[in-house]
A = this chain, B = another copy of it.
Amino acid sequence: MTDEISALEPTAGADRSRRGGGRAGKRAGSGAAFEQPPFRQLRIPFEPVKFVSDDQLETIHDASLRVLEDIGVEVLHDEARTIMAGAGAQVTPGTQRVRFDRALIMEYMGYCPSQVTLHARNPAHSITLGGDNLVFAQMASAPNCSDADRGRRAGNQADFRDLVKLGQMHNILHLTGGYPVEPIDLHPSIRHLECLRDFALMTDKAFHVYSLGKERNLDGIEIARIARGVSHEQMMNEASLITIINTNSPLRLDIPMMEGIIQMARHGQMSIITPFTLAGAMAPVTIAGALVQQNAEALAGIAFSQMVRKGAPVGYGGFTSNVDMKSGAPAFGTPEYMKAQLVGGQLARRYRLPYRTSNVCAANTLDAQAAYESVFSLWGCIHGGGNFIKHAAGWLEGGLVCSYEKTILDIDLLQMVAEFLTPLDLSEDALGIDAIRAVGPGGHFFGTPHTQERYKTAFYSPVLSDWRNFESWAEAGSPTAYQKANTVWKQRLASYERPTIDPAVEEELNAFVDRRIAEGGAPTDF
């Protein structure tokens, strides 16, 4: 246990100069409703797993290049095809099919930066992707939300805001990763403006913008720029926003996704290209085949980002999993998903790119299944060398629901993972030989000075785990982790405080958003 992680910090909204006295200790003064480890850039202290050998990795790499050379991809965006042709790709005349020589792909892959820093409006919350860095992003894009009190319901602005608050309050969540739930009570033409304003005002972390048309990308970039109070030039050199580009698997790159890559690359913002290659549905039923297709699609999108602008920040996303062959529904946190996570990471590192993977499950409620599928996913994230863990907190039902209770469970899981990744203190004092001598054979360590000096902060204190003995637990009504999570999110949400912002910046932000709303936002045909 290092001092860094031992130090506790009040909630992000409270005065950052106060620090708590220990995990098991008392609360850290007024303003701190709960204790949690401080915000910090995490690192993975060991080598990722080589699930396939270097030779086998080259086999997958080579197969992907054969797909791009022989079969190619369908690119629905006219300007994108023009850019690709200009770079040397073969566009079959009169079609949308584009094929790429392997040399062309590898030339452009070579222009990608290997690390990207995302600048938050609070510089203390800026984070780096790539290398051994690890960041966790809140769940994104659920159409529904749920909690144990109110049940399951369609996404709406009130829940959107409450979930964004939970994301801001918890230091283990490094950024918001898209709308935790889709606020369908906001008209799609102005939804992005309201949501991005909320990200900019209710959080001080980096955030995500959806690639659903040029206006939305540009509005997001401008809102992030105003919130940071920097120039357009500075934004060009300092990525502040991230977008996820899902290919339309198999082998199709659609108009909004290509437009998103173009706008983000031209403005120095980050795209993460993530094929959604479900083995047996949108990709071959073999995990090897799904990975070949994932890699082909990712390489096409990533190389394209560099054709738009060499050096544009970009990441490699893996989302290969299997489907339930009985129903066709996606499965997550499965053995097949874990293998794909590990090999996906090997591929991303082969190209020296930041690697995105996810904490996902297919459970319908917060039972043992939700927990084992999520921890298996996190296992694959960490040993796959994941840099950017999307959907890190809140995901249930294969992504159809963002759950308040699952958000708390995941926060606890992520905090445990972060503690697991903290190197051991191996100082002479920590080795404890003097304590072992003082206690001697048959003694005990409870009351020793060595223990007394350390016990408050020696161990991670979990949010949910109930470690009472059976009798005490049964007397308390035999509560499950689900019930405890339900209590915790309500207590924590009630203590949310909006992060400070320069009133002039807030005014400028509101003026921009209000003007864009008055203009009608992004055009829709309904």
Q: Is the CB of A285 within 8 A of B334?
A: no
Q: Is the CB of B431 within 8 A of A482?
A: no
* A60-B431, A71-B440 known; A285-B445 Cβ under 8 A: yes
Q: Is the CB of A284 within 8 A of B450?
A: yes
A47 to B49, CA, bound (A): 7
Within 8 A of B (CB), among A41-84: 45-47, 49-52, 56, 59-60, 63, 66-67, 70-71, 73-74
Q: Is the CB of B437 within 8 A of A71?
A: yes
CB distance from A416 to the nearest CB of B (A): 5
A235 to B470, CA, bound (A): 43
Q: Tell me, yes or no, whether A442 is within 8 Å of chain B by CB.
A: yes
A363 to B469, CA, bound (A): 9
- CB-CB contacts of A280-309 with B at 8 A, as 1s and 0s? 111111111110110010000000000000
* A285-B451, A416-B334, A446-B280 known; A73-B441 Cβ under 8 A: yes
Q: Is the CB of B24 within 8 A of A400?
A: no
* A250-B443, A284-B432, A338-B420 known; A325-B467 Cβ under 8 A: no
CB distance from A56 to the nearest CB of B (A): 5
Q: Tell me, yes or no, whether A331 is within 8 Å of chain B by CB.
A: yes
Within 8 A of B (CB), among A261-297: 279-290, 292-293, 296
Q: Is the CB of A467 within 8 A of B327?
A: yes
- CB-CB contacts of A353-384 with B at 8 A, as 1s and 0s? 00000000011111111111111100100010
A413 to B371, CA, bound (A): 11
* A73-B441, A364-B466 known; A288-B425 Cβ under 8 A: yes
Which of the residues B286, B365, B424 comes within 8 Å of A343, measured between beta carbons? B424
A512 to B511, CA, bound (A): 91
Q: Which of A49, A67, A459 has the most CB of B within 10 A?
A: A459
A470 to B144, CA, bound (A): 11
Q: Tell me, yes or no, whether A310 is within 8 Å of chain B by CB.
A: no
Chain A contact residues (Cβ within 8 angstroms of B): what range? 35 or more
* A368-B371, A433-B66 known; A56-B325 Cβ under 8 A: no
CB distance from A89 to the nearest CB of B (A): 15
A494 to B441, CA, bound (A): 49
CB distance from A184 to the nearest CB of B (A): 17
Contacts of A419 in B (CB 8 A): 335-336
* A251-B442, A375-B371 known; A456-B364 Cβ under 8 A: no
Q: Tell me, yes or no, whether A468 is within 8 Å of chain B by CB.
A: yes
Within 8 A of B (CB), among A157-188: none
Which of the residues B47, B336, B373, B430 comes within 8 Å of A286, measured between beta carbons? B430
Contacts of A444 in B (CB 8 A): 250, 281-282
Q: Tell me, yes or no, whether A426 is within 8 Å of chain B by CB.
A: yes
Q: Tell me, yes or no, whether A481 is within 8 Å of chain B by CB.
A: yes
Q: Is the CB of B379 within 8 A of A426?
A: no
A152 to B471, CA, bound (A): 11
CB distance from A431 to the nearest CB of B (A): 5
Q: Is the CB of B424 within 8 A of A51?
A: yes
Q: Is the CB of B424 within 8 A of A288?
A: yes
CB distance from A251 to the nearest CB of B (A): 4
Q: Tell me, yes or no, whether A252 is within 8 Å of chain B by CB.
A: yes
A422 to B466, CA, bound (A): 34
Contacts of A363 in B (CB 8 A): 465-466
Q: Tell me, yes or no, whether A339 is within 8 Å of chain B by CB.
A: yes
Apart from A1-B287, A63-B433, A327-B469, 15 more pairs, CB < 8 Å: A1-B286, A24-B325, A46-B50, A52-B423, A67-B433, A250-B443, A280-B445, A281-B444, A286-B425, A289-B432, A296-B436, A335-B419, A364-B478, A367-B482, A370-B371
A-B pairs with the 7 shortest C-beta distances? A289-B432, A284-B432, A371-B371, A74-B441, A335-B419, A368-B371, A375-B375
